[in-house]
Structure 1
Amino acid sequence: MKVVSVSRDGQHRFSKQVTPAIRLLAGLGVEGDAHAGTTVKHRSRVRQDPGQPNLRQVHLIQAELLDELVGKGFTVRPADLGENILTRGLDLLGLPRGTKLSIGADAMVEITGVRNPCAQIDNFQPGLLKAVLDEDEQGNLIRKAGIMGIVLSGGEVKAGDAIHVELPPEPHFPLERV
């Protein structure tokens, strides 16, 4: 379980820019990223209630999703889908809410929920929204566009850093949209 790439963007754009390292700031998010802060920064959520807590400080996607999308004919590279941290070898969508991820030497992120992909993803590449949605055996919607978290402990994160998982106490609760 490791970090494949890291990215940030100081503007509210769909994709971010890959960078050699990012700095996570406790209680805020990714230094220099448009979504950093204690209150929500996602534009549609700010319009609803700008004072709500920011449960989307860090966006993580598993590289295996990019592999799957490339296999379906899409052109997607690290940071294209707006993630801050691209991982490999870790089933992000299978983690319960409240899982803590130790990343690199010092950083720790607590998982708050799953990203709900919006129609903007089809503006990036037509058909991509449908490709990042799926159904389980019971017909429940599966959102595959990554998970969101808050920064508990700050620190530098870069490609190649190890990721260690600490599950919350049971009972475990599945990820919901945040």
Structure 2
Amino acid sequence: MAVTVRSDLVLSHAVVTSDVTGNFDDVDIESWLKNLPTHEYQRCAPGDHKAAGYTVDDDGTPMSINVEVIGTGLVIQQYRYEVASKHYCKMVSISDILTPTGWTTTQVIWELGMEQLEGDQLRYVNTVTSHPTEEFLEFITASGATFEEAAAARQKASCQHCELEAPHYAQSIIAYAKSNPATAAA
């Protein structure tokens, strides 16, 4: 099924940072994502995160599968790795969303980055950008909402969700780095 993404429209955009202490050379976001257990994912956004997993798409592209609640929607994300490295990953998903009025889709771009500030002082940067699909635009029109109303609701929900998860992600990435220093060296 072909999905048309309206990248000219922004449904939501959130950037949240969290400062942590750890060895920059041991950080490996790509490995952390591929090894993130469901229960650790749930601890990163208590109440919102439901399940996480790792798989590959038909063409062999690595994928992170995440199930979470954002605002009033149950979101099932099938993130394809567009960039995967130790200190930066860019994940892109055509996400299925179950809303109180039915199913729809959006594109979600999730960027995870770790920057070294000074010595062991690090900054995790969590960026989430969402674009509507044509299906989403038809869905909100059929429900009587405007794009502006839908975008305002999604922006608020996305920002609240990112504020909750970003500091937990940062701590989880550092804990993973401390317990898997050999992973970063591989």
TM-score (normalizing by structure 2):
0.25
Larger Rg: 2
Of Structure 1 and Structure 2, the greater helix share is in 2
TM-score (normalizing by structure 1):
0.26
